[in-house]
Structure 1
Amino acid sequence: MHSHAPLPSTAATLVPSTVLPPVAAGHQLVALTDALLETVLAIENVAFSHPWSPGNFTDALRSGYHARVLMQGDEVLGYFIAMQILDEVHLLNITVSPIHQGQGLAHELLDALAHWSRHTAHAQWLWLEVRESNTRARHLYERYGFTQVGARKKYYPVHHGERETAILMNLPLWP
């Protein structure tokens, strides 16, 4: 005869909804792991003219940055990587797979990041930088509530040694 520990009550196993990040039905938000890294790198290389290197991702994971992947079943839809510094969270990378762009997934990723930043990191601000020429992303961030607070001249590489301005944006997380 085997001895079994009593099953916990249903109430004890439920996690309050305020702890879980908001994601659409059928989507899961999972930690970026080495097992998902190859797929994420493939998306990164298709999505950007100057993608993060495998070393950038590995360093972010080893540093303990908040790295999450939005999945539908076994398919990677998008991901983000953020770093907490005191009462601020800095969004370092957010990417939606090009075949899934235009479906509101970037907004879903931002919702999940803002939720984590408020309720787990207890941050006051969310910060990001975006290429000046990336008007699509800038409009997304503005619609989300970010405001431009500065610019970093010659920050991003472009071509042949040329550099592009980074627009610095922030979002207050608490009223």
Structure 2
Amino acid sequence: MNAVVQPASRMLLPLREEDLDAVLEIEQATYDFPWTRGNFLDSLRAGYEMQGLVAPQYGLIGYFIAMQGAGELHLLNISVAPAEQRRGHARYMLDELRALARARRAAQLWLEVRVSNERARALYERYGFRNTGLRRGYYPALGRKREDAVVMSLQIPEAAHGLG
């Protein structure tokens, strides 16, 4: 995948079970400790919001999974294929996720991110997320160690005031 996917040619579509091979390919290329097929199947069966970022000429290039809670939306996973990173796709998915939160009247969007994932943390901070805490030993890491997660939240004021 060498050509740049143009923003106008990408779209989000609901993920289905038949999309999981492509999802797993991206997941395994992106993370040292990827989600399993079972994790994705459980998310589908639980009815979580699962959207795939599709570029018609390339197929699936990214995805996000979010879970709705009481007055909030929790981003569980967001990934972009390595060859398509740094091209605005994650920001595009965050825009769609914020619109989804507004539509569902969720006043906050939450996520956890590895302390060591400086690129993702910088993206979230530029987007407006604020650090709200730390979860010690949240993520698996190499060896017997565990890695801390930074907890971040984004206020969705439009949803909090019932605008949508």
Structure 2: how far apart are the matches of 1:87 and 1:57?
24
- 2:111 paired with 1:124: no
Kept in 1, the 8 Å contact 2:139–2:146? The answer is yes
Structure 2: how far apart are the matches of 1:46 and 1:26?
23
Question: RMSD value over aligned CA atoms?
Answer: 1.2
Structure 2: how far apart are the matches of 1:112 and 1:128?
15
Picking from 121, 134, 137, the partner of 2:117 is 134
Structure 1: how far apart are the matches of 2:119 and 2:33?
17
The corresponding residue for 1:6 is: none
Paired residues, number: 152
Structure 2: how far apart are the matches of 1:124 and 1:142?
18
Q: Name the % identity.
A: 46
Structure 2: give runs of 5+ residues left out of the alignment.
1-6, 159-164
The corresponding residue for 2:89 is: 105
- 2:37 paired with 1:45: no
Structure 1: give runs of 5+ residues left out of the alignment.
1-23
- Deviation, structure 1 residue 148: 0.1
TM norm structure 1 = 0.84
Structure 2: how far apart are the matches of 1:35 and 1:79?
14
Structure 2: how far apart are the matches of 1:100 and 1:156?
25
2:95 is matched by which residue type in structure 1? D
2:157 is matched by which residue type in structure 1? W
The corresponding residue for 1:20 is: none
1:4-32 CA-to-partner distances (Å, cap 9, x unmatched) read xxxxxxxxxxxxxxxxxxxx411111001
- Deviation, structure 1 residue 86: 1.4
Structure with bigger helix share is 2
1:28 is matched by which residue type in structure 2? M
Kept in 1, the 8 Å contact 2:112–2:150? The answer is yes
2:146 is matched by which residue type in structure 1? R
1:45-81 CA-to-partner distances (Å, cap 9, x unmatched) read 0100000010000000000000000101151111000
Kept in 1, the 8 Å contact 2:26–2:61? The answer is no
TM norm structure 2 = 0.90
Structure 2: how far apart are the matches of 1:25 and 1:122?
28
The corresponding residue for 2:75 is: 91
Structure 1: how far apart are the matches of 2:20 and 2:148?
29
- Deviation, structure 1 residue 35: 1.5
| Mapping 1:1-175, distance limit 5 Å | 24-73=7-56, 75-119=59-103, 121-174=104-157
1:88 is matched by which residue type in structure 2? E
